[in-house]
């Protein structure tokens, strides 16, 4: 067995992969709370992640846990876990979806010499979701914690620390901090000075482990708590998008993955850093030695879940309700920026509804429009990838939204590309388990994923030519609405 752990925003997931049978043997999940404030604060306690992990592992049979030979961790990107010298967490963890650090982003960018220099030297701008501004925010708003700051870890790094006692990072997740030179795969000293000119933050950043390496062995205490064999290897792991790339077989140039989760992500695999001069596409590294150009929207299933909850529609009924409405939702247009937005960069953005009249102000139109809006936002990311030379032939779909037939067909129609899914689609958790296997066995990662991932042809779908043509115009209309409100929330 190989264990893949995924520390998400809404919950913790643990997956056991049986390599001999080439199948997922068991999956356990535990929900997580979210601290939300009107100023854009989105936080969690790191202890909640450990509690969720313990709950998940207790759901596996002891005999299954005893067979685990290696494990790796996937985690939500960009969070700022501040540790003191003894390893205690100093403050609640500001998450990827936290937009309360907009001022700090502007201050860091100005201190470094502007957005263009950020793109030239880092490959990415400093955005509110990234870790850099959270460190500066910590200094301002929690000075006592900042004074004791010894190490800055990302969420998956922190779980690795709990498992092994090692404070280590890796290039994939590190490239989403705003502190990293993605071209040279190293921390950037100059941006650290821009975050805090009064302190050398270099000592707070952990060393970087090589892709596919062992960062340490499972410690005795964690092994007892989790019911796992002590001393088994723990791989580098990575950010959830990097692990989802492995879990969908996206480890060679030309592949495209779209993840429909709380956030929406769209990413490809590239043999070199892909830097977007407009800064709308993140120039990330992968966790397998290549690069992962990525577009993230902060509101994907958020939009449909909020609308579904408001209208008291059961999850089981969502597809039928959406399919009862024609493309375009009879003129209803949703801008789903409920959590602010990263792409486009509108951290103060709000959810908006347009085009309402007495004839179309109906629940099913609101549901379909919310779903369409999430896909439109990701389609804008595809446009950026294509402009940068990526020409995918199909979409590999993952995430919770991928379980919906209505979502799958809508992605195919709006992207004008066929949609494929893996059997037992578990995205990031499966990717972590496969990376753990790669860590132990070595060899070619592409060959490994080809051997262990199979397409689920029963859930594949092709774009409908008539709907695709109709959606071309509807998508342009959506972009015009985004342009119209951007000035309100800039």
Tens digit of each residue's pLDDT (9 = 90 or more) over 466-488: 999 999 999 999 999 999 999 99
Return the bridge partners of 395, or none.
419
Tens of pLDDT along 301-337? Answer: 999 999 999 999 999 999 999 999 999 999 999 999 9
Domain boundaries along the sequence of the chain: 2-240, 250-421+460-490
| Contact indicator for 303, 386 with CB cutoff of 8 Å | no
CA distance 288 to 308: 38
240 counts as catalytic: yes
Question: How confident is the model over 116-138, as a mean pLDDT?
Answer: 95
Tens of pLDDT along 256-298? Answer: 999 998 889 999 999 999 998 888 889 999 999 999 999 989 8
| Contact indicator for 295, 383 with CB cutoff of 8 Å | no
C-alpha dihedral over 327, 328, 330, 331, to 10 degrees? Answer: -170
CA distance 324 to 153: 47
CATH number of 2-240: 3.30.420.40
State the pLDDT at residue 277. 85
Question: How confident is the model over 453-471, as a mean pLDDT?
Answer: 95
CATH number of 250-421+460-490: 3.30.420.40
Share of the chain above pLDDT 90, in %: 88
C-alpha distances (whole Å) from 478 to each of 230, 282, 457, 467 are 53, 22, 32, 16
CA 347 from centre of chain? 17
Half-sphere exposure of 362 (CA within 13 A, CB side): 13
Return the bridge partners of 151, or none.
83
CA distance 482 to 57: 44
State the pLDDT at residue 85. 98
**Is the pLDDT score of 422 beyond 90?**
no
Q: What is the pTM of this model?
A: 0.88
Return the bridge partners of 235, or none.
214
C-alpha dihedral over 395, 345, 152, 236, to 10 degrees? Answer: 10
| Contact indicator for 3, 228 with CB cutoff of 8 Å | yes
Domains 2-240 and 250-421+460-490 share a fold: yes
Give, in degrees to the nearest 5, the angle at Cα 472 between 471 and 477: 85
Give, in degrees to the nearest 5, the angle at Cα 113 between 108 and 115: 75
State the pLDDT at residue 1. 97
pLDDT bucket at 426, cuts 50 / 70 / 90: confident
Question: How confident is the model over 343-363, as a mean pLDDT?
Answer: 94
State the pLDDT at residue 359. 97
Question: How confident is the model over 159-168, as a mean pLDDT?
Answer: 98
pLDDT bucket at 352, cuts 50 / 70 / 90: very high
The residue annotated as part of the active site, out of 98, 240, 364, 413, is: 240
């Amino acid at each position: 067995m190989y264990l893949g752990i995924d520390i998400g925003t809404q919950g913790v997931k643990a997956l056991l992969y049986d390599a001999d049978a080439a199948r997922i043997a068991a999956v356990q999940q535990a929900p997580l709370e979210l601290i939300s404030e009107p100023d854009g604060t989105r936080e969690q306690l790191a202890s909640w992640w450990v509690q969720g992990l313990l709950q998940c592992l207790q759901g596996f049979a002891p005999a299954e846990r005893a067979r685990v030979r290696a494990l790796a961790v996937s985690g939500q990107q960009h969070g700022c876990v501040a540790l003191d010298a003894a390893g205690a967490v100093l403050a609640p963890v500001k998450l990827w979806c936290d937009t309360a650090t907009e001022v700090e982003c502007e201050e860091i960018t100005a201190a470094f010499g502007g957005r263009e220099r950020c793109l030239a030297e880092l490959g990415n701008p400093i955005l509110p979701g990234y870790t850099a501004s959270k460190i500066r925010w910590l200094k301002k708003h929690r000075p006592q914690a900042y004074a004791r700051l010894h190490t800055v870890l990302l969420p998956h790094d922190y779980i690795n620390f709990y498992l092994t006692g090692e404070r280590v990072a890796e290039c994939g997740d590190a490239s989403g901090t705003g502190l990293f030179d993605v071209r040279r795969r190293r921390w950037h000293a100059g941006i650290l000075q821009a975050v805090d000119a009064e302190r050398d933050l270099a000592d707070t950043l952990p060393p970087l482990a090589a892709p596919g390496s062992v960062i340490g062995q499972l410690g005795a205490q964690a092994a007892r708590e989790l019911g796992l064999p002590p001393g088994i290897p723990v791989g580098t792991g990575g950010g959830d998008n990097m692990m989802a790339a492995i879990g969908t077989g996206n480890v060679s140039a030309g592949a495209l993955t779209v993840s429909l989760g709380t956030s929406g992500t769209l990413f490809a695999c590239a043999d070199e850093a892909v830097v977007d001069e407009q800064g709308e596409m993140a120039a990330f590294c992968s966790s397998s030695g290549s690069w992962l150009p990525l577009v993230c929207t902060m509101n994907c299933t958020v939009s449909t879940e909020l609308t579904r909850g408001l209208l008291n529609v059961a999850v089981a009924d969502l597809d039928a309700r959406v399919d009862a409405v024609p493309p375009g939702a009879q003129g209803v247009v949703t801008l789903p920026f409920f959590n602010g937005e990263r792409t486009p960069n509108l951290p103060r953005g709000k959810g908006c509804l347009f085009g309402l009249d007495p004839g179309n102000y109906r629940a099913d139109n609101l549901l379909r429009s919310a779903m369409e809006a999430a896909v439109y936002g990701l389609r804008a990311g595809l446009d950026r990838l294509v402009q940068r030379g990526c020409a995918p032939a199909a979409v590999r779909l993952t995430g919770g939204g991928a379980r919906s037939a209505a979502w799958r067909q809508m992605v195919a129609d709006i992207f004008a590309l066929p949609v494929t899914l893996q059997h037992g689609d578990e995205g990031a958790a499966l990717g972590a388990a496969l990376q753990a296997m790669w860590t132990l066995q070595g060899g070619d990662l592409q060959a490994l994923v080809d051997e262990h991932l199979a397409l689920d042809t029963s859930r594949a779908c092709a774009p409908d030519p008539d709907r695709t043509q109709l959606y071309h115009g509807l998508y342009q209309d959506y972009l015009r609405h985004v342009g119209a409100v951007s000035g309100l929330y800039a």
